[in-house]
Structure 1
Amino acid sequence: MAERVLVIGSGGREHALAWKLAQSPHVQQVLVAPGNAGTASCGKISNSAVNVSNHTILAQYCKDHNVALVVVGPEVPLAAGIVDDLTAAGVPCFGPSAKAAQLEASKSFSKSFMDRYGISTARWSSFTDPQEACSYIQGADFPALVVKASGLAAGKGVIVAKDKEEACQAVLDIMKDKAFGAAGDTVVVEELLEGEEVSCLCFSDGSTVAAMPPAQDHKRLLDGDKGPNTGGMGAYCPTPQVSGEMLQQIKTTVLQKTVDGMKEDGIPYVGVLYAGLMLTQQGPKVLEFNCRFGDPECQVSNHPPPK
């Protein structure tokens, strides 16, 4: 029997998910909340005005409208526990729990997790005091530094500093001037990794992973990889930089290792796991984890994996 699916979100990512879900013979209708102009009326797809931030109202809406599955696009509702609340109300929901979403919602949490489970990443330290962070920066032996707001900052809370003075200023901007709000209550300072950046996403059921084709997202605002980081300036997929052999390596040493570690910690990871990686001379290293489909990666990933 064909079912009704609700997609949460309003971006190009959600449009791509709705478009793909609507192609399934198992899906009768796709609702998108709040949706956008592209999802307003498009065949099986239509927008919904339901309040997605009130999980009690949302759960009742799903029951009243016979929604068989909720697919969550953005990270903020995941970190707010939408999956936990809908699941508890008996509404099937695709995505990680709030605890599992900490892999994205707290860079400090994810970096500590990677260290504990031997997942390759940049050298780092986290701080809640700006003076301590600046002292660490002045004494760091890294050739270049990156300063990150630990919390959710819509992909923009990362500052690549050209020198230690700029790194200290970034700390002050984030922690004292609240450039990214409460997301910057804790900062992570780490070494700048050199190489090409790629995005490797997978589906996980909490135990196993199924890798998607790798994509490359361009984050810096200006041509020539200059300017501040954005939430993403476009992407393409698949990437010639990631061979089938390398993807298998990433699947084993990063994606599966992460899912195994979360399971070991009693926080099973179910949903889409996104690893942002730098292809360094020492091999792939994790820059960040996201707890959902990337946008714009989701829009370009309808391709067969590399041979």
Structure 2
Amino acid sequence: MESGELLLARLGDRLKGLRGKMTVDAGMDKITWFRTGGPAQVFFQPADEEDLALFLQVLPEEIPLMVVGIGSNLMVRDGGIPGFVVRLSAKGFGTVEQVSDTRLKAGAAATDKRLAASALEAQLTGFHFYSGIPGGLGGALRMNAGANGVETCERVVEVRALDRKGNLHVLSNADMGYTYRHSAVPADLIFTSAILEGEKGDPATIRQAMDDVLHHRETVQPVREKTGGSTFKNPEGTSAWKEIDKAGCRGLRVGDAQMSVMHCNFMINNGAASGFDLERLGETVRAKVLENSGILLEWEIKRIGLFASGQSLSELQVADDAVFLA
């Protein structure tokens, strides 16, 4: 992968006039909650929706483009990410405002925690579950994030998004094509904001629901570790953690990457794990669960980027250096 400086040089004056911040060869290990991963060739934080639209209009289609959120549910491979990585800034895309008695307009970079707090201030029910999700609204919209029996699809009224050419799209709830932990929206659409709706409620009741979510999360999840949240989606009729546990993978370790002993569907970096270690651990778990129960777990964590030189990994490949508790 060439340097970010060379990529920008090849583009010449195409990007002139953009107001956002560009960083070449940006370390993604400083952004992801796992604290792993190679560099982004060029990292761009647009100033606002207009700036992002201009960037998309002038960026040649053959240049790779990847959009990331706050890095909580993201695994970056050690070889880095070619092309441009776009991350919406909190300043330009992180506001939350009340636009009617029951509706909020939130930028895609708003954290889920801030969205929950804003709903409490507006005395709106149905947003409490966001207080326990360590992510941002953009990712929640894309993957239909949910917890405690509530999903993002239940709140969405409409979503603003830009396509790869910078054209604006306004999507209804039905347009999003929501299913469990999934939306059917084309992958090249970049969400910029959304209108979400709840119902008026009692602030004390809302606060208690939020507190219950946080208490549950802190008692059953390794929230103080370097983790990416739930590693695998729940299969139909069971829970991913149950199948991982039955396969003997609670505490399973590859290098410095480990399945949490507290919650075995959480993968953690004990300090020196590489992206390769984490992904090898995940594929080993998938292989062991498939062998034990016949269930093929599906990744919930998003894995992006290139393997470093000399690295290769096949689906369901068991790591030779995996250490089992049993």
Q: TM-score, normalised by structure 1?
A: 0.27
- Relative to its length, the structure with more strand (as a share) is 1
Q: TM-score, normalised by structure 2?
A: 0.26
